[in-house]
């Protein structure tokens, strides 16, 4: 085996020696080839650099010339329509930016006004509700109506004067200012009874003016019994004491309150720390009162007709009395008796008995018709019922506001869902934001709206609690007190009326006795 392989081994050794001898030659050849390649590459690079250096100045110059020529050609090629279109697009862009800026400013201003309004309200509540002495006996009276010229038409001003724990006051107000202050109180105190005022009337006759004076006086007397209304900023500070010639304008500039301010006002006025849940007893009490008031309205309509007939009959009787005893009998004595009786023996036609005529005038005085007070009692009762039913209506309006806030919340939740799905359809300032920015902004809005919804729920509970635990009971108590007060006033007026009649007939009897003496 070894002998057979010996020639092959020897052949392999020879080949290996030859390769070792040839390897340096091969390596040297490879190095030479690489050196040639490198030299060639350097020559090519040097030549290219030289060509670039020669071409570069001319190329730069040509490029500059091309750059200068291209804008001129582009400007020349633009048509007038393209220019107008660009200007229009620029204007639209500017307008959009301006609108967005205005919207942002408006939102900031609204927020500042709301914050300032809430702060002002809190300050005013601190100044009035906490400092006012509720035990101080308030005096207030509406009197002395005066007609004034107002350019296009005449108007009447009513004097309001009185005294409260902050001192004396006296001012003059028009009827429409009474109307404005009441509407404002209704808006600022949802669920609360605000005393009524007379209805609006185009007529300004003396009877209408006197009736309004009586009813506006009753309005103010009722207001002084409801301390949280009387000492509110709107009534106490503006209506009774402001020297601003345009009260309506001043009232219109009072910042609008949000649901949070309403809640704070209620808590402060009624000293409430815990808001109760609405119970079945509360609902039953409100339902019973509303049913009773609505039934009473029908009865009062008939009673008002009867009292008006009675009052009118009294006025007619007084006029007839004066016609007979103030005018006709005097003429009878002059024309019939004076032929046989000396003037000093006459009764009504004797100048010495002029006080009889003065007493007859007092009896006739239409402003002293005490039976008007019965008519006023029925009118007040009617308007009080309407006013108290308004308290339930303004309470219900809170639920409507809550439902609107819930609708807004639902829409915002739907928009947020679309954004999270990547299908945003938001418009306005939202459309320019990224989806993530839209999501963040909408989440903030959702949080605020949710707070508003929750606050409406609390306010509705709070108003219901106050209405059932305070307002209804006070209304019943004041109703009884008002009834007794008006009847007492009526009794006093009737006694005074009878006293004047007694003085009249006593004087007539005295003169007759004197005439019989020798």
Mean pLDDT of 311-322: 91
Q: Are residues 219 and 236 in the same domain?
A: yes
pLDDT at position 38, please?
60
Return the CATH number at 403: 1.20.1270
Half-sphere exposure of 193 (CA within 13 A, CB side): 27
Nearest one of 492, 475, 219, 480 to 373, comparing CA atoms: 492
Mean pLDDT of 374-388: 88
Distance CA 164, CA 177 (A): 21
pLDDT confidence of 235, banded at 50, 70, 90? very high
Mean pLDDT of 73-96: 48
pLDDT at position 489, please?
84
Domain assignment of residue 136, yes or no: yes
More confident residue, 52 or 222: 222
Domain assignment of residue 132, yes or no: yes
pLDDT tens digits, residue range 326-342?
899 999 988 888 888 88
- pLDDT of 29 above 70: no
420, two tokens: 């999270």
More confident residue, 355 or 108: 355
Q: Are residues 206 and 249 in the same domain?
A: yes
Number of domains composing the chain? 2
Q: Are residues 254 and 362 in the same domain?
A: no
CA distances from 321 to 324, 365, 416 (A): 5, 11, 82
Q: Are residues 183 and 207 in the same domain?
A: yes
Q: Are residues 210 and 280 in the same domain?
A: no
Structural domain ending residue among the three candidates 269, 297, 330: 269
Distance CA 359, CA 112 (A): 66
pLDDT at position 517, please?
59
Helix segments in 365-471, DSSP class H? 372-420, 435-466
pLDDT tens digits, residue range 457-482?
999 999 999 999 999 999 988 888 87
Domain assignment of residue 76, yes or no: no
Give me the percent of the chain exceeding a pLDDT of 90: 39
pLDDT tens digits, residue range 297-308?
888 888 888 888
Structural domain ending residue among the three candidates 269, 288, 306: 269
Domain assignment of residue 262, yes or no: yes
Element (H, E) at 356: helix 354-364
- pLDDT of 101 above 80: no
Q: Are residues 371 and 503 in the same domain?
A: yes
Positive or negative torsion for Cα 16, 18, 21, 24: negative
Q: Are residues 188 and 310 in the same domain?
A: no
Q: Is 169 helix (H, G, I), strand (E, B) or coil?
A: strand
More confident residue, 352 or 62: 352
Nearest one of 380, 377, 393 to 489, comparing CA atoms: 377
**Distance, first Cα to last Cα, the chain:** 203
Domain assignment of residue 487, yes or no: yes
Q: What is the DSSP letter of 146?
A: E
Residues β-bridged to residue 170: 161
Mean pLDDT of 2-29: 49
pLDDT confidence of 278, banded at 50, 70, 90? very high
- pLDDT of 193 above 60: yes
More confident residue, 304 or 368: 304
Q: Show Cβ contacts of residue 355 under 8 Å, excluding neighbours closer than 6 positions.
A: 507
- pLDDT of 113 above 60: no
- pLDDT of 438 above 50: yes
Nearest one of 167, 156, 249, 240 to 203, comparing CA atoms: 156
Mean pLDDT of 66-87: 45
Q: Is 382 helix (H, G, I), strand (E, B) or coil?
A: helix
Arithmetic mean of pLDDT over the chain: 79
pLDDT at position 84, please?
43
Q: Are residues 256 and 293 in the same domain?
A: no
pLDDT at position 459, please?
95
pLDDT confidence of 516, banded at 50, 70, 90? confident
- Residues of the domain holding 310: 274-518
Nearest one of 386, 333, 368, 392 to 512, comparing CA atoms: 333
Q: Are residues 340 and 475 in the same domain?
A: yes
Domain assignment of residue 11, yes or no: no
Q: Are residues 155 and 291 in the same domain?
A: no
pLDDT at position 414, please?
87
Q: What is the DSSP letter of 228?
A: H
Domain assignment of residue 442, yes or no: yes
Q: Are residues 437 and 314 in the same domain?
A: yes
pLDDT at position 367, please?
72
Residue with tokens 């900023």: 233
Return the CATH number at 241: 3.30.1520.10
Give me the percent of the chain exceeding a pLDDT of 70: 73
- pLDDT of 515 above 60: yes
Domain assignment of residue 355, yes or no: yes
pLDDT tens digits, residue range 392-414?
999 999 999 999 999 999 988 88
More confident residue, 164 or 344: 164
pLDDT at position 129, please?
53
Mean pLDDT of 420-443: 73
pLDDT tens digits, residue range 415-427?
888 888 777 666 6
Q: Are residues 219 and 311 in the same domain?
A: no
Structural domain ending residue among the three candidates 243, 269, 295: 269
- pLDDT of 115 above 90: no
CB 265 within 8 A of CB 188: yes
């Amino acid at each position: 085996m070894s002998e057979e392989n010996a020639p092959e081994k020897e052949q392999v050794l020879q080949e290996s020696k030859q390769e070792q001898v040839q390897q340096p030659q091969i390596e040297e050849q490879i190095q030479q080839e690489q050196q040639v390649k490198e030299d060639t590459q350097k020559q090519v690079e040097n030549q290219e650099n030289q060509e670039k250096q020669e071409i570069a100045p001319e190329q730069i110059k040509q490029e500059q010339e091309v750059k200068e020529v291209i804008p001129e050609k582009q400007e020349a090629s633009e048509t007038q329509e393209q220019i107008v279109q660009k200007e229009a697009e620029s204007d639209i862009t500017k307008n959009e930016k301006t609108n967005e800026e205005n919207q942002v400013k408006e939102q900031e201003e609204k927020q500042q006004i709301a914050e300032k309004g809430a702060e002002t309200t809190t300050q005013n509540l601190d100044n009035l509700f906490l400092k006012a002495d509720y035990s101080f006996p308030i005096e207030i009276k509406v009197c002395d109506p005066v007609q004034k010229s107002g350019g296009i038409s005449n108007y009447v001003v009513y004097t309001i004067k009185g005294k409260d724990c902050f001192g004396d006051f006296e001012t003059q107000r028009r009827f429409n200012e009474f109307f404005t202050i009441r509407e404002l109180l209704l808006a600022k105190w949802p669920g609360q009874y605000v005393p009524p005022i007379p209805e609006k009337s185009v007529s300004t006759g003396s009877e209408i003016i006197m009736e309004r004076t009586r009813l506006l006086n009753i309005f103010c007397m009722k207001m002084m019994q409801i301390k949280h209304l009387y000492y509110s900023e709107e009534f106490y500070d503006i209506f009774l004491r402001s020297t601003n010639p345009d009260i309506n304008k001043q009232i219109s500039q009072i910042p609008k309150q949000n649901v949070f301010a309403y809640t704070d006002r209620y808590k402060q006025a009624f000293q409430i720390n815990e808001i109760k849940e609405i119970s079945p007893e509360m609902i039953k009490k409100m339902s019973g009162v509303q049913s009773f008031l609505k039934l009473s309205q029908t009865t009062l309509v008939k009673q008002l007709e009867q009292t008006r007939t009675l009052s009118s009959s009294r006025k007619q009787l007084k006029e007839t009395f004066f016609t007979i005893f103030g005018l006709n009998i005097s003429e009878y004595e002059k024309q019939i008796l004076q032929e046989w009786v000396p003037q000093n023996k006459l009764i009504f036609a004797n100048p010495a008995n002029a006080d009889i005529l003065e007493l007859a005038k007092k009896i006739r005085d239409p402003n002293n018709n005490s039976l008007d007070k019965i008519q006023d009692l029925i009118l007040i009762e009617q308007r009080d019922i309407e006013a108290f039913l308004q308290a339930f209506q303004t309470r219900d309006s809170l639920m409507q506001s809550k439902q609107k806030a819930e609708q807004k919340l639902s829409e915002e939740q739907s928009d947020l869902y679309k954004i999270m799905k990547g299908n945003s359809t938001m418009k306005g300032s939202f459309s320019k934001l990224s989806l993530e920015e839209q999501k963040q902004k909408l989440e903030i809005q959702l949080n605020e709206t949710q707070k508003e919804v929750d606050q409406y729920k609390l306010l509705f509970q709070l108003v219901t609690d106050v209405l059932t635990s305070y307002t209804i009971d006070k209304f019943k108590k004041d109703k009884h007190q008002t009834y007794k007060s008006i009847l007492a006033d009526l009794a006093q007026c009737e006694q005074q009326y009878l006293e004047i009649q007694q003085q009249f007939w006593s004087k007539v009897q005295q003169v007759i006795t004197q005439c019989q003496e020798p």
